[in-house]
Amino acid sequence: GNSVTQMEGPVTLSEEAFLTINCTYTATGYPSLFWYVQYPGEGLQLLLKATKADDKGSNKGFEATYRKETTSFHLEKGSVQVSDSAVYFCALKNAGNMLTFGGGTRLMVKP
Amino acid sequence: DTGVSQNPRHKITKRGQNVTFRCDPISEHNRLYWYRQTLGQGPEFLTYFQNEAQLEKSRLLSDRFSAERPKGSFSTLEIQRTEQGDSAMYLCASSLGRNTEAFFGQGTRLTVV
The pLDDT tens digits for A9-23 are 899 999 999 999 999
Give the per-residue pLDDT at B15: 98
pLDDT above 70: percentage of residues in chain B: 99
B69: enclosing H helix or E strand: none
* Mean pLDDT calculated for residue range A32-52: 93
Taking CB atoms and an 8 Å limit, are A45 and B104 in contact across chains?
A: yes
B45 interaction partners in chain A (CB closer than 8 Å): 98-100
Residue B77 exposed, middle or buried by CB count within 10 Å (0-12, 13-18, 19+): buried
Rg (CA), chain B: 13
Give the per-residue pLDDT at A42: 86
- The residue of chain A with its CA nearest to that of B34 is A98
Contact A57, A48 (CB under 8 A): yes
Give A58-101 pLDDT, tens digit per residue: 999 999 999 999 999 999 999 999 999 999 999 999 876 789 99
Give the per-residue pLDDT at A95: 73
Check residue A8 and report its DSSP letter: -
A46 interaction partners in chain B (CB closer than 8 Å): 101-103
User: Which position has the higher pLDDT, A79 or B2?
Assistant: A79
Residue of A44, A49, A94 for testing the chain B interface, max B β-carbons within 10 Å:
A44
Give the per-residue pLDDT at B1: 55
- Residue B70: φ, ψ to 5°: -65, 140
Contact A105, A21 (CB under 8 A): yes
Between residues 43 and 72 of chain A, which touch chain B (CB distance below 8 Å)? 43-46, 49, 51
- The residue of chain A with its CA nearest to that of B106 is A43
User: Which position has the higher pLDDT, B25 or A98?
Assistant: B25
What confidence category does residue B17 fall into, taking pLDDT thresholds of 50, 70 and 90? very high
Give the per-residue pLDDT at A29: 83
* Mean pLDDT calculated for residue range B75-85: 97
Q: How far does CA A63 lie from the centroid of its chain?
A: 9
B43 interaction partners in chain A (CB closer than 8 Å): 44, 89, 99, 101
Taking CB atoms and an 8 Å limit, are A46 and B101 in contact across chains?
A: yes
User: Which position has the higher pLDDT, A70 or B39?
Assistant: A70
